[in-house]
Structure 1
């Protein structure tokens, strides 16, 4: 994690919406099908809502039918992973490598172009349209 983003909770609360704070800093999960990013199909980049690190491109996005923005791969070095044991079955959780913000979980998915699904909370992302598209 970048030391510039090692902020106290009060600084994160001032920087983020309540929903984004719950997801990014408290490892919350938004309701499925609640993110407008599910319907985002323009050319651009998906960045961390906490620090604007680029995490995914629009080419990596696909419709998994799960209700959360899903990606078949991530940009190299953008994410850190760890095992999440909050449920009965261990899952692989991923966070922004720059600010440590919780993004979502990665699963095997035979319907994905790569066989993997990065299932992301929309509240943890911002979409930046490619100005040249």
Structure 2
């Protein structure tokens, strides 16, 4: 199993502040992506089906949805793989809402393959494992 390979000696249980940071980062990134989408469409003079202004008006709903989704996914992950370290919650939280980049341009969905929560968790776990190996 992959998770046992990345066990951390100092992995501590995730606290409520970790989940709060995840939710805030996911919500903030959803709003930022909404604003970037609106700016892009205005700049390129495109007329989508849902106007950029309407998308910004509904961005708090997107932010709440992505915040809840991020906390639920991280809660399941904390239950299923408690040994993964709780590192960089702002990066991981923002990666949940990065899917909205595909609404700006479909080509940006390729970046989601790199900037998603699973790859970031693995990256930070491998980085911590490498760091602890060099300290010995």
TM-score scaled to structure 2, two decimals? 0.24
TM-score scaled to structure 1, two decimals? 0.25
Greater relative CO, 1 or 2 (CA 8 Å, sep 6+): 2
Of the two, which has the highest radius of gyration? 2
